[in-house]
Amino acid sequence: MNTTIRESLLPLVARLLLVSEFLIAVNGKISDWNGQAAYMASHGMHFIAPLLGAALAIELLGSACLITGFQARNAAAVMAIYLAIVSVRLHDFWHMTGMAAGANQTEFFKNLGMIGGLLMIVAFGPGRWAIPTRNH
């Protein structure tokens, strides 16, 4: 593969693909706040409104950072930690049975893959197509 494509285009495409799932989650929070809150409550969570607001902010601002590449390493680190917490807290398939267990296992391992992609950004930066910052 051409070095220019590998070093400039692929990191941008990777960032955009990672962001796609977060933007779907942002849309879900905006369009069905009460449904999201009910899901969190069904998992025994407390302080739902502030946690849901924080989740929305992390997903929205983090996505903007990943799209532009601005502060992408920091955003990816925060998003990886956030996604790890969400995965363990809300996709605890090991406490479920039947189809719910299978669906949540899929979500859990999908999130692990996304965490891996985010950690790659933390380690190697956003690539060439990014708004420059001092720490990337």
Number of domains in the chain: 1
Residue 4 pLDDT class (50, 70, 90 cuts): confident
Residue 136 pLDDT class (50, 70, 90 cuts): very low
The answer to whether residue 65 is domain-embedded is yes
For 89-104, the pLDDT digits (tens) are: 999 999 999 999 999 9
Q: Domain residues for 40?
A: 3-124
pTM of the predicted model, to two decimals? 0.92
The answer to whether residue 102 is domain-embedded is yes
The answer to whether residue 135 is domain-embedded is no
- Residue 38: count of CB within 10 angstroms of its CB: 11
The answer to whether residue 136 is domain-embedded is no
Phi/psi for 47 (5° steps) reads 55, 45
pLDDT surpassing 80 at residue 1: no
The answer to whether residue 133 is domain-embedded is no
Q: What is the mean pLDDT of residues 68-77?
A: 97
pLDDT surpassing 80 at residue 3: no
pLDDT surpassing 90 at residue 34: yes
Instruction: Specify the pLDDT at position 22.
Output: 98
The answer to whether residue 129 is domain-embedded is no
Instruction: Specify the pLDDT at position 7.
Output: 77
Residue 135 pLDDT class (50, 70, 90 cuts): low
pLDDT surpassing 90 at residue 123: yes
The answer to whether residue 108 is domain-embedded is yes
The answer to whether residue 131 is domain-embedded is no
- Residue 111: count of CB within 10 angstroms of its CB: 19
Mean pLDDT estimate for the chain: 94
